[in-house]
A and B are shown apart, each in its own frame.
Chain A
Amino acid sequence: MKQFIAFVRKEFFHVLRDRRTLLILFGMPIAQILIFGFALTNEVKDSEILVVDYAKDDASQQIITEIAASRYFNIRNAALTHKEMLSTFQKGKIKAVIVFPASFNRYLLHNNQAQIQVITDATDINTANMITNYLTAIIKDYQAKINENLLVPYQIIPETRMLYNPQLKGAHGFVPGVMALVLMLVSVMMTAISIVREKEMGTMEILLVSPFKPVLVIFAKAFPYLILSLINVTAILFLSVFALDLPVKGSLLLLFLESTLFIITCLALGIFISIKTDSQQIAMLISLMGMLLPTMMFSGFLFPIENMPVPLQVISNIIPSKWFYIIVKSIMIKGLGIGSLWKETLILAGMTLFLLTVSLKSFKIRLQ
């Protein structure tokens, strides 16, 4: 036990004395949360909208006021010809143009029908779609308002509710994703590198020729990264609650327990990589290419798994981060408990057990 503690302490010295390691360990998660939270958002916020109002009557003004009141749009007024409009689009400054034809209100009142033209920049399909949706919603609202006292004979009003994320905040999807990503990176890559470093430096040779059990060497190497990863989890949750306004709906304890399970899965993977490689570079490459990429692609965090071809959907099942992503999302956003997550937890636990067994089986107590 004393040996184990000495070993763990030594490991902390290594981490704390290497500025680059520290940066990866703690700078990366914070940077990722902030980048995903504020820069790489797919929400439509403060989009520049150009209003070309040829009508300048009651109805058009009321609709414009409604649009301006929404925090999604910044409104600018201009009277432009069709040609000028196109050149403004090409400059890329505006996302959409709304055109009210002359006598808009008159058409509305006398013909019972009026048209508004909405032109969007579809270079970015998602943004264009979303802007159109928002604008249509606002216009429909207005329509409902003026029809309030009228009896429309046949009418279906869809009542939609966005469950768990009514404001459609982007943070909901990526915080669990970043968590899976960061834990994968820290636990797999750092553990693999730190064990391979002992091989590369030759210290493994001395450690093997000592009464210290070789398997304990591996556990002692992995243990500090378990603690550091848990600190990372705490930091990410802290940021998500206080910087991104995304509270943890479910049990915090359960979230930490599940994170610990996933970290152990990653550590086992890291140990396995370290056993199979002999240089830090190769260990890093394998960790990055073999772990990070699948995590990004198959966890469902960037691309929905349901939309993938079936073979890829099958492959996604063997990626531990997929299950962890589901678990974290369910606990944080839906507030589910272990009762609804036992299946995913069991799968993750099975993977951990398998990886640990394989790693320990392939661990060599000699150099060859």
Chain B
Amino acid sequence: MEAVVVENITKTYGKGKVLAVDNVSFSVNKGELFGLIGPDGAGKTSIFRMLTTLLLPDEGSATVDGFNVVTDFKQIRSSVGYMPGKFSLYQDLTIEENLNFFATVFGTTVTENYHLIQDIYVQIEPFKKRRAGKLSGGMKQKLALCCALIHKPTTLFLDEPTTGVDPVSRKEFWEMLRRLKKQGITIIVSTPYMDEAALCDRIALIQNGKILSIDTPDNVTRSYPANLYAIKANEMYRLLKSLETFPDRLNSYAFGEYAHATFRSEKLDTAHLEHFLTDKGLSGIEIKRIPATIEDSFIKLLN
């Protein structure tokens, strides 16, 4: 059973001048944790806003829980949960007041659906008298998630929920999402962080309004076509410059403290490369073959 179906959706801004979403199609199964992965400006937010009935698609159609996003917007609005990319709660209201307000607006009470938010709410409950504007980034996101969950939505749309949140809170946040998934809620989440992609059931890699690939994270990395090497040396900048002049090189880029590189030949002559780099004046050279990450796959798809 499919919770969300998107068919050939296109969205432009400024009377057709800016193409934000370009003929995108995908579907999300019920109870799935689906990730839209892509850099800023890829069109993630536009897709979210069309699915939450906030924007009208120029072309194509989409349904959420079987309801059309254009004609049945009322049904969709009362059944989905939406957490916009920007923190969108009332800064001058306390945690408790925000939660109560959104519960009432959605025609329910906090006690009625407390079981849904309990895990998350207990973490911010000690601060329930504090105003939302005075919370840390991680707490704000937890509160926003509580508010989006309070009416027991069938589908949850989370637009970049972890942007600007510290690594520990990010990890916690994703654990919460996995727990929510167990309750049968379909979750569509967007993120610019590639490491979070691996935590989704399926991901769509998106760039410039186009979907490059849709698959499980494992399949995305497994289908990585070239041999990938991680290379380390004492000087990163010179290492990258040197790699660019290496005749066999296909692609190379910085990746943390390593440089990742792919080569034309099936099997890289590591000794030859090491010699080449030493000649360029580099030392402490380390070359190892590694499995591809989502980010590597994404960069590969972009080229």
Contact = CB atoms under 8 A, between A and B. Distances in A.
Interface string B246-259: 00000000000000
Interface in A311-368: 365-368
A2 B104 contact: yes
A208 B77 contact: yes
Interface size class of A (residues with CB under 8 A): 20 to 34
Interface stretch (B26-34, B79-87, B118-126): B79-87
A92 interface: no
Contacts of B92: 13-14, 17-18
Say what secondary structure dominates the interface of chain A. helix
A10 interface: yes
Contacts of B67: none
B114 interface: no
Given A202-B84, A202-B87, A211 B77 contact: yes
A203 B88 contact: yes
Contacts of B84: 202, 205-206
Contacts, number: 78
Nearest to A5: B104
Nearest to A204: B88
Interface in A1-33: 2-3, 6-7, 10, 13-14, 17-18
A57 B147 CA distance: 91
A10 B101 contact: yes
B165 to A, nearest CB: 17
Interface string B73-117: 110011010101011111111000100111011110000000000
In the complex, the 8 A-B pairs of residues with the closest C-beta atoms, listed nearest first: A202-B88, A211-B78, A6-B104, A209-B82, A202-B86, A367-B54, A17-B92, A209-B52
Interface of B: 49, 52-56, 73-74, 77-78, 80, 82, 84, 86-93, 97, 100-102, 104-107, 147-148
Interface of A: 2-3, 6-7, 10, 13-14, 17-18, 201-203, 205-212, 365-368
Given A6-B101, A13-B90, A14-B92, 4 more contacts: A13-B97, A205-B88, A211-B74, A212-B106
5 contacts: A7-B105, A13-B90, A203-B88, A209-B77, A366-B54
